[in-house]
Structure 1
Amino acid sequence: MSMMQRLDAAEALPGAAELRARTYELLRLDPGSAVLDVGCGAGLAVAELSSLGFRAVGVDLSAEMVDEARRRSPEAEFLTGDAYALPVDGGFAGYRADKVFHELAEPERALAEARRVLAPGGRIVLSGHDWEALVIDSSYPALTREIVRARASQVTTPRIARGFRRLLAGSGFREVSVEAVVGFFGGEPFVRGLVEVAVRVGAVSVAEGEVWLADQVDGGDAIAVPQFVACGVV
């Protein structure tokens, strides 16, 4: 499964549309306000924000993603750029980053850049999963712990979402608040991907992985993962 396919699948999961809508609500934008979506991927949030009457700009590190976003939403604005050095000037009323900060080794640098581009009184909204807290029903709890640890080890900062409050407050944002919801992953490609990572890093053997995977496929594959949404004001 390609990155594009994984992103599309994630945006189609139960509750995903509602969570996106909640991030837009927390931005508290006035009509016509400018909002930056960092790590915009294929541009779904930019398209939705534009349809709500905001001037949305998407930024992504991947030129391939930006090209796809422009293809899907040719009327919207998309730029190739880095969260540490955004290709825009200031004056934005909102900054949004969904499923981005767990890939950043220096999140404080990204937040300093967010403060640069936000106008006084502008709002930031971060959302993301806690990759160390996957909740999986399994007949093999010890194997499950190793598989979850292995998956988290492939994420730059797997625990960052649970620390959004501390991160935002420490970077000078005011009126910081955090909400948590539980999302659900699943499907054979996702659970097989967990096993493949665990085998590749040596956390479990091929045989152990197959036993665990068979149990998931036969017994159901709904995996719960905490998702945190935080907001703050410059």
Structure 2
Amino acid sequence: MRATGDYWNRPDVVTAFATASPPGYLADIVPQGDPGAVALDVGCGGGRNLPLLAERGYRVVGLDLHAEMVLRAQGVAPGAAFCQADVAALPVATARAAVVVCHGVLHNLPRPEQVSAAIGELGRAVATAGVVSLNLFSAAHLDHRLTPLADDRHRLPNGQVMTLMPPERIAALCRTAGFQFVDGPFEYLHDADPGQRSVWRAVLRPTGTR
């Protein structure tokens, strides 16, 4: 997937993501890591989740498509490893990660088939006994300033295209990728630009029959 313009590399956007706090529920999801266990933050942005993962004892790897996000995250978590990478083609060995965090990423993929591929990649990367924390915007609430396109796609006023799927379709894709639900799925409203967005989130584990 190509980056959409320069939006995600803009200094103000990078700073906003680097200075944001991790969601409160993440601390409840992430267990203490065993020696050598790996935690991936897929779409790590400016690195807001990385210190928490490191404090839990994981070898932390931050992956993001955007070079300036990766650069800023390196300053937030200097002990972590980083890679500029596409969520739909992760440069990670199969079943390598004990914890995978993917927050606020998949709705930025411009086509539904990319979202499906990305969820499949999360399932491939996580260990059988591992855990995935996933959240993304859904179609449960659509701001009137979004322009609807075909196939669950919507254009923002700034020209970016997002994929916003119904919650039940997101859940179905997770099950198809070999996940079971440990917690959730949940839906809640979040203030965004523009307007409010509906966030779908869940904690997932592989079924063991992948």
Shared fold (TM-score, shorter chain, > 0.5): yes
Cα distance, 1:148 vs. partner? 3.0
1:8 is displaced (CA, Å) by 4.1
Counterpart of 2:203 in structure 1 is 231
- Amino acid aligned to 1:89: A
Matched, 1:50 2:54: yes
2:184 aligned with 1:182, yes or no? no
Q: Which has the larger radius of gyration?
A: 1
Which residue identity is paired with 1:168?
C
Superposed CA RMSD in Å reads 3.0
2:70 is the alignment partner of 1:66: yes
Larger RCO: 1 or 2 (CA < 8 Å, sep 6+): 1
Aligned to 2:3: none
Instruction: Quote the offset at 1:134 in angstroms.
Output: 4.5
Identity %: 26
Q: Aligned to 1:167, what secondary structure does the other structure show?
A: helix
Per the TM alignment, residue 59 of structure 1 is displaced from its structure 2 partner at its CA by 0.5
**Pairing 1:76–2:80 present:** yes
In 2, the alpha carbon distance for the partners of 1:161 and 1:99 equals: 15
1:40, distance to aligned residue in structure 2 (A) = 0.7
1:218: which partner in 2?
Answer: none
The structure where strand makes up a greater share of residues is: 2
1:225–1:109 Cα change, 3 Å: closer
Amino acid across the alignment from 2:200: F
Query: Do the aligned partners of residues 69 and 9 (structure 1) sit closer, same or farther apart at CA in structure 2, a change above 3 Å counting?
Result: closer
Residue 99 of structure 1 aligns to which amino acid in structure 2?
Answer: G
1:123 equivalent in structure 2: 131
Query: Structure 2: 5+ residue runs without aligned partners?
Result: 1-5
Q: What TM-score do you get using the length of structure 2 for normalisation?
A: 0.72
**1:132 Cα deviation (Å)?**
7.0
Unaligned regions of 5+ residues in structure 1, if any? Answer: 136-144, 195-222
Shift of 1:178: 0.4
Over 3 Å counting, the alpha-carbon distance change for 1:113 and 1:225 in structure 2 is: closer
